[in-house]
Amino acid sequence: MPAPLHFYFDFISPYGYLASLRIEDLAKKHGRTVEWHAMLLGVSVLKVMGLKPLLDTPLKGDYARRDVLRHVRKSKVPFGRDLDAPVGSPLPMARAFSLVKHHHPHLQELMARLIYRAYWVQGLDLSTPEAVARIRLPDGMSPAWLESELHGEFAATLLRREVDASLRAGIFGSPTVVVDSEPFWGFDRLDDVDEWLTRAGW
């Protein structure tokens, strides 16, 4: 079995959302699977790198707003969020993902997609455990269970572990795809990932 592609993302990152819509097809094309990894830009960008949130950065923030919407028009992906809507805490979303990935690894892609859809297509505020528990969940998953877990320590610990591991792997941006130890940062590098897999590197 060839190693999976490692897909690192923060739910609040619009470029991560755009990449999430392509990553599974890209992996399948090359006979690979995807392991999805939640990371937190609030830790990597703000704390470790000492930078600012993308959309709050002068000049670059305005460019990013325009660039994201240009990509959305070009690729005709479903997109229903105001880029200037409050981001709120990304923790409940990321913890919900980590929790589902831990208990049901085969549901990691589905759970990521359901959260992405609620946040980026429906444009919901998912900054609380209650809000995340109310989105469409995988069949049979109990909203009450999820909400209760999101208030507990275990989900927080799981996410902290994932985030620590992403920093140790040198991951700082969303999306980042790691192919056999080779990192590719940025939505616009998926074509490079494709070529890297085709040529087995260069």
Residue 50 is a binding residue for its own copies (CB under 8 A): yes
Min dist CB 57 to its own copies, Å, is 5
Nearer Cβ to its own copies, position 130 or 191?
191
CA distance 121 to 118: 6
Helices (H) and strands (E) in the chain, counts: 10, 4
Whether 85 contacts 119, CB under 8 Å: no
Instruction: Tell me how far, at minimum, the Cβ of 48 lies from its own copies, in Å.
Output: 5
Q: Which of residues 28, 73, 103, 136 is near its own copies by CB under 8 A?
A: 73
Among 53, 78, 105, 170, binds its own copies (CB under 8 A): 170
User: Does residue 42 bind its own copies (CB under 8 A)?
Assistant: no
Question: Three-state SS string across 133-174, please?
Answer: HCCCCCCCCCHHHHHHHHHCHHHHHHHHHHHHHHHHCCCCCC
Residue 12 carries which DSSP code?
A: T
Element (H, E) at 202: none
200 near its own copies, rule: CB under 8 A:
no
Of 112 and 190, nearer to its own copies (C-beta) is 190
Q: How far is the CB of 60 from its own copies (least distance, A)?
A: 5
Beginning with the edge strand found earlier in the chain, give each strand of the sheet holding 182-185 in spatial order: 34-38, 5-9, 176-179, 182-185
Tell me which residues touch its own copies (CB under 8 A).
44, 48-52, 57-60, 62-63, 66-67, 70, 73-74, 167, 170-173, 183, 185-186, 188-189, 191-192, 202
